[in-house]
Structure formats: structure tokens, C-alpha cells
């Protein structure tokens, strides 16, 4: 559903944590990056599994993801990248080996990090990478996005999160739905758990700009890369993973498709399989 609003709320949204989390382990760090309008909590299952295997795990919160949606919708992809980059550099001083994993928009941020720090990042995992909003669950009105991106309307239009909310797991989906279905534009009551109930079109525009940047640098990337995506991804089709796989310059590259999940594969039906594949991939590059 498309929502149009001229309302503004520039106050910090109460109840949203100011940061992500860190789980101490050995000298090998896994740096996890959540999705756009999401929360570090969506990386929780993967984080705990990696930590159980001995890895240190860091999952920071992106810039302005603890603020009102009015602040978030004015945030550029460069600001989001720089906030994650700054967190990465803090941990890079203390850990000899770092592996990076990102979900959706976070996967694109991860690719840029690996491109900028090829000597420091040993392996890269992309969960449901989002270059294009072409999944089966997107509203038909998305075909107008390229036109809207060219106008100021992008700052006043929002897509409300709707079924299936990126989840095939009925129990988890029910919890998310109870919040999302009745949440209004400025409802921050459970954003720290499930992310924002609305996605500003301006944020989708920033995603598209970042995607263009990522596509341009893929041939230069040499970091070993693993792509995991659901065949039935409701947000972004397998075309996204194929696009990265076919363009990336990495000699070590692999795509793994999941058969019983939707977009948020880090929390969905096959989260254990995602965790197993991530652990096995990162362990090959431990010091």
C-alpha cells in the first residue's frame, strides 16, 4: 500500500536503541550489516551462531536508524555507508581477520567495504542482495518508481510494509504482522524489534543509487564472496544474486539458493542452514 503524507516528525524516536551489539570471541571478527529501515536484531540468529563457533561478532546500527522516519528519509546512502565504515574501522584496529555479511541493502554496503578494504576483509557474504525491487511481493505501483525518483514526491511517499513481510515462517510473520498491520507512519513502538512500518520512497531511491555504484565496482572486487538468496524472495528476485555473481571479479564465488524462505533469510524458515553455510564459508578464511 502506498501512503502519502506531508507530516513531519524530526524528534528522535523513543524506544529505539542507539546502537547495535557486540559479542566477544576470538581474534576473528564477523561484521554484520542489517538492511535498510531494519534493525541489527534481524542479524541476531546468525550472530549467535557465529559467536558459538568462536568468532567475535559486531552488528552496528546504521546512521539515523534510531531517529524518526522524517530524519531517515533525508539520509543519503553515503551517510549510511560512512556510519558503517566508521564502525568497521573501530573493530579493524583490534582484529586480525574480518569477514563481512550484509542483508539486502546491507549486502551492498558490505560489497563497498570489501572493495575499499580488500586486504582487511577476508570473505564476504551477501544475504538477499537488493539491487532491484523486483520480487513477487512488491506492489504493482513500483513500476512508477523511476519517474517518482526524479521528483520531490519521493520525500512524501511511503510503501507500507505488507504481507508477507519478508517471512515465510508463519509464527514469526504473525508477530511482525501484529505490529505492521495497524502501525501508522510515526509508530515507533516496536521499531527496535521489526524495523520501520513504512519505507520512504526516498530511501528506495538511495538504494537504487547505491546499486549503480556497486554494479560499477564489481569487476574490481577480488574478495571471496558467497551469495545466499531465497528462490521465492518476495522483495528482490534471484536476478539480483545472478547480476552480482556474473559481474564480480572474485575467483572464489558461489550462489546458494534456499527453497523454503522469503526475503529475511537470516530469520526465516532456513535460518539454521544460512548460519551453517555462513560459518563454513567464514571458517575457511580464519587466521
The alpha carbon torsion through 57, 196, 164, 124 (nearest 10 deg) reads -30
- 12-24 mean pLDDT: 73
Question: Residue 44: what pLDDT?
Answer: 94
| pLDDT, the chain, mean | 92
Question: Residue 140: what pLDDT?
Answer: 83
* Model pTM score: 0.94
H or E stretch covering 57: strand 56-59
Residues in Cβ contact with 122 at an 8 Å cutoff, skipping those fewer than 6 apart? 97, 98, 99, 223, 224, 285
Alpha carbons 29 and 24: distance in angstroms, whole number: 9
Question: Residue 14: what pLDDT?
Answer: 54
Alpha carbons 169 and 248: distance in angstroms, whole number: 32
Within 10 A of 91 (CB to CB), how many other CB atoms are there? 16
Residues in Cβ contact with 162 at an 8 Å cutoff, skipping those fewer than 6 apart? 1, 137, 139, 180
1 versus 46: which is more confidently predicted?
46
Q: Where are the domains of the chain?
A: 2-283
Instruction: Indicate if the pLDDT at residue 263 is higher than 70.
Output: yes
| 93-97, 206-210, 233-237, 253-257, range with the lowest pLDDT | 93-97
- 246-272 mean pLDDT: 97
Question: Residue 2: what pLDDT?
Answer: 53
Length of the chain: 287
Instruction: Indicate if the pLDDT at residue 48 is higher than 80.
Output: yes
Percent of the chain exceeding pLDDT 90 equals 79
Q: Which of the following CATH numbers is that of domain 2-283: 3.40.50.1820, 3.40.50.300, 3.40.50.2300, 3.10.180.10?
A: 3.40.50.1820
**What pLDDT band is residue 11 in, cutting at 50, 70 and 90?**
low
Instruction: Indicate if the pLDDT at residue 94 is higher than 60.
Output: yes
Question: Residue 236: what pLDDT?
Answer: 96
- Write out pLDDT tens, residues 99-145: 999 999 999 999 999 999 998 999 999 999 999 999 999 888 888 99
Alpha carbons 114 and 248: distance in angstroms, whole number: 12
3-state secondary structure 33-57: ECCCCCCHHHHHHHHHHHHHCCCEE
Alpha carbons 108 and 248: distance in angstroms, whole number: 13
| 1-10, 19-28, 234-243, 260-269, range with the lowest pLDDT | 1-10
**What pLDDT band is residue 215 in, cutting at 50, 70 and 90?**
very high
**What pLDDT band is residue 267 in, cutting at 50, 70 and 90?**
very high
Question: Residue 17: what pLDDT?
Answer: 57
Question: Residue 228: what pLDDT?
Answer: 98
Instruction: Indicate if the pLDDT at residue 192 is higher than 90.
Output: no
Highest mean pLDDT among 6-20, 67-81, 170-184: 67-81
Alpha carbons 138 and 160: distance in angstroms, whole number: 11
Question: Residue 5: what pLDDT?
Answer: 56
Sole residue written with cell 513504512: 198
- 236-251 mean pLDDT: 98
3-class DSSP state of 245: helix
Alpha carbons 278 and 287: distance in angstroms, whole number: 16
C-alpha count within 13 angstroms, C-beta hemisphere, residue 280: 9
Question: Residue 19: what pLDDT?
Answer: 72
61 versus 15: which is more confidently predicted?
61
95: alpha, beta or left? (left if phi > 0; alpha if psi -120 to 50): beta
> How many degrees, rounded to 5, is the angle at CA 17 between CA 11 and CA 23?
155
Question: Residue 18: what pLDDT?
Answer: 61
Amino acid at each position: 500500500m502506498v501512503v502519502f503524507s506531508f507530516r513531519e516528525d524530526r524528534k528522535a524516536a523513543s524506544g529505539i536503541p542507539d546502537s547495535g551489539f557486540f559479542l566477544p570471541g576470538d581474534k576473528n571478527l564477523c561484521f554484520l550489516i542489517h538492511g535498510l529501515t531494519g534493525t541489527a536484531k534481524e542479524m541476531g540468529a546468525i550472530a549467535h551462531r557465529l559467536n558459538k563457533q568462536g568468532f567475535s561478532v559486531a552488528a552496528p546500527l546504521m546512521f539515523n536508524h534510531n531517529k524518526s522516519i522524517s530524519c531517515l528519509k533525508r539520509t543519503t546512502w553515503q551517510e549510511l555507508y560512512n556510519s558503517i565504515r566508521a564502525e568497521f574501522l573501530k573493530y579493524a584496529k583490534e582484529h586480525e581477520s574480518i569477514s563481512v555479511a550484509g542483508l539486502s541493502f546491507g549486502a551492498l554496503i558490505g560489497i563497498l567495504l570489501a572493495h575499499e578494504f580488500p586486504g582487511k576483509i577476508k570473505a564476504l557474504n551477501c544475504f538477499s542482495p537488493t539491487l532491484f525491487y523486483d520480487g513477487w511481493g512488491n506492489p504493482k505501483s513500483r513500476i512508477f518508481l523511476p519517474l517518482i525518483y526524479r521528483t520531490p514526491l519521493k520525500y512524501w511517499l511511503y510503501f507500507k510494509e505488507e504481507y508477507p513481510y519478508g517471512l515465510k515462517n508463519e509464527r514469526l510473520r504473525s508477530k511482525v504482522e501484529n505490529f505492521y498491520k495497524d502501525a501508522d507512519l510515526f509508530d515507533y513502538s516496536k521499531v527496535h524489534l521489526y524495523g520501520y512500518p513504512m519505507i520512504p520512497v526516498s530511501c528506495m531511491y538511495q538504494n537504487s543509487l547505491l546499486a549503480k555504484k556497486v554494479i560499477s565496482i564489481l569487476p574490481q572486487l577480488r574478495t571471496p564472496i558467497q551469495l545466499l538468496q531465497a528462490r521465492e524472495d518476495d522483495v528482490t528476485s534471484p536476478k539480483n544474486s545472478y547480476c552480482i555473481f556474473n559481474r564480480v571479479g572474485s575467483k572464489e564465488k558461489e550462489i546458494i539458493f534456499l527453497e523454503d524462505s522469503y526475503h529475511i533469510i537470516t530469520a526465516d524458515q532456513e535460518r539454521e542452514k544460512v548460519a551453517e553455510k555462513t560459518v563454513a564459508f567464514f571458517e575457511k578464511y580464519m587466521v
